[in-house]
Structure 1
Amino acid sequence: MMPRFDILKDVVTDLGIAASFVTIVPVASPKPAADGAVARATWALPVAGLLVGLTGAVVYAVASKLGLAPGMAALLALATTALITGALHEDGLADTADGLGGGRTRERKLEIMRDSRIGSYGVCALILSFGLRWSALAAIASPWLVTLALISAHAAARAGVPAFMSLVAPARPDGLSARAGSPPGRSVAIAFALGTLTLALALGPAKALVGLVLLSLAGLILARLAIRQIGGQTGDILGAFEQVGEILILLVAAAFLHGGG
């Protein structure tokens, strides 16, 4: 019985670490995580993402029930997901856009990405992110289909993060990504399987395949940019990867689920 109890305890611990890693919900122990614990817990990122998406879906459904138009309900849903995550991924997207777009040297790009101020590239990136996601949700309209779109987008967008962390080395030794460590192969495989399963169940196998191909291409392009321009990945790069993945899955959902198809 003890090994089973230990496994269950590890699963609960990993879920708490993953949730605290991508949300502002204080679910993990306040004690510092042991070495390698965060990297190991990355398998649970899709689960944490699913819960974030579900929270946004509940807000959308309540807003729709109250008679609000799809556009307003979609805006409230997006505001909710940004609030529960502390806009962590949006911040990463903005910093990545500013750094990769504005700096001339590797050192300058990393310096810009660490700067809390936002530049024109970051503003444009956030406008595009919120605009595309809002448009996709408003086009889908149906609360049930929006639920499927949100949970699949948030789960799948985070499912590729462990693989990205494993394949692309940290750009600097003292950043968030470097402190988290490189996820073991088992965590990478489980996260990918959970993300794929969520996509397939929510959107169907064919649509899930389209989403996976787009996510893979986006990951390869971002990885190449990050390696060439700053020598690897950072926490901001990972946030940008999540945002791009979220956008792509919502666009796929809008294209196929619009009108209930």
Structure 2
Amino acid sequence: MRDGWRLALGTLTALPTPPPSAVTRDTARAAVLLAPLAVLPLGAGVVALGWLGERLGLAPLTLGFLALGWLALTTRILHWDGLSDTADGLTASYDRERALQVMKSGTSGPAGVVATVVVAGLQVAGFSGLLASERGAVVAGLAVCLSRLALSLACVRGVPPARRDGLGNPMTGVVRVWHVVALWLLCGGLAAVVTWWVGLPATAVVAGLAAALVVVTALLVHCVRRLGGVTGDVFGAGIELALAAILLGITAAL
């Protein structure tokens, strides 16, 4: 469990973390299941930002951009790089090997830039709608944690790795379907209770998770069809798309 916790923190955040002693399938499974909890400090930062911004009289749009910047800083922009590379690979060629080569190159092409701008804009819009109040700030912080549930979908058994190297290989297929269902129900239920406790409709969290489930599943199906599986870049893309979907789903339901 300790190695799983270290892997989750070291992969999903920029927090100083000792490396795991070994990355086994059990370690990877624990990291995937602990992912929503591992980013709790990042979500807490978003909550604090909302509360502080309200007291300073900052505009919601400004807070939305600051929240985006905070998350980019505290994740080393790793997930954004994955989103950009995934978009470039999926649009570069219908040839699987060529697409994977483009994703591995690390450079951002037109598709990657546009995808990053669009998804970042959607996240800013979602954060802006929630950070206008203290209650909304709490839900915005929850959305950050819930977005990491996307990792469990990408790592469920039956979703193959697209190649035999990189982060995607040791992480894929490490969780069972019942793990995913239990994790989503547990995190969604806790988030719904907290949302209700702060005085907002609990159904908003359900709407956000439903939107994320549809978006991330569509991404994974497309990647398996086009690339033959998933990579570490796809993990990052799924997380950022999930966050945008959850934020917009919640704001639309409020």
TM-score range, shorter chain: 0.7 to 0.9
Q: 1:180 aligns with which of 171, 185, 188?
A: 171
Aligned pairs for 1:99-138 (under 5 A) are 99-138=89-128
TM-score (norm 2): 0.87
Q: Determine if the alignment matches structure 1 residue 21 to structure 2 residue 2.
A: no
Instruction: Check conservation: 1:155, 1:198, Cα contact below 8 A.
Output: no
- 1:148-191 superposed Cα distances (whole Å, 9 cap, x missing partner): 33222222221131232113111111120112353233753553
Q: Determine if the alignment matches structure 1 residue 210 to structure 2 residue 207.
A: yes
Task: Return the offset for 1:34.
Answer: 4.3
TM-score (norm 1): 0.85
Between 86-95 and 155-164, report the one with greater CA deviation.
Answer: 155-164
Task: Return the offset for 1:30.
Answer: 5.8
Number of aligned residue pairs: 247
User: Higher helix fraction: Structure 1 or Structure 2?
Assistant: 1
Q: Determine if the alignment matches structure 1 residue 224 to structure 2 residue 221.
A: yes
- What letter is aligned with 2:36? P
Q: State the identity %.
A: 28
Unaligned runs of 5+ in 2: 196-200
Q: Determine if the alignment matches structure 1 residue 193 to structure 2 residue 190.
A: no
Structure 1 vs Structure 2 CA RMSD = 2.2
2:148 is paired with a residue whose SS is: helix
Inter-partner Cα distance in structure 1 for 2:151 and 2:116 = 20
Task: Return the offset for 1:62.
Answer: 2.2
- 1:85-125 superposed Cα distances (whole Å, 9 cap, x missing partner): 11111111111111101223101110111111101111111
1:202–1:131 Cα change, 3 Å = farther
Task: Return the offset for 1:35.
Answer: 5.0
1:182 is paired with a residue whose SS is: coil
- What letter is aligned with 2:183? A
Q: Determine if the alignment matches structure 1 residue 170 to structure 2 residue 161.
A: yes
Instruction: Check conservation: 2:6, 2:20, Cα contact below 8 A.
Output: no
Unaligned runs of 5+ in 1: 1-9
Instruction: Check conservation: 1:93, 1:236, Cα contact below 8 A.
Output: yes
Task: Return the offset for 1:229.
Answer: 0.6
Inter-partner Cα distance in structure 2 for 1:82 and 1:198 = 25
Inter-partner Cα distance in structure 2 for 1:28 and 1:108 = 36
Inter-partner Cα distance in structure 2 for 1:201 and 1:251 = 19
Inter-partner Cα distance in structure 1 for 2:28 and 2:97 = 27
Instruction: Check conservation: 1:157, 1:246, Cα contact below 8 A.
Output: yes
- What letter is aligned with 1:224? V
Inter-partner Cα distance in structure 1 for 2:190 and 2:233 = 25
- 1:179-237 superposed Cα distances (whole Å, 9 cap, x missing partner): 23532337535532343124323444422332232222212211221011100011111
Instruction: Check conservation: 1:51, 1:151, Cα contact below 8 A.
Output: no
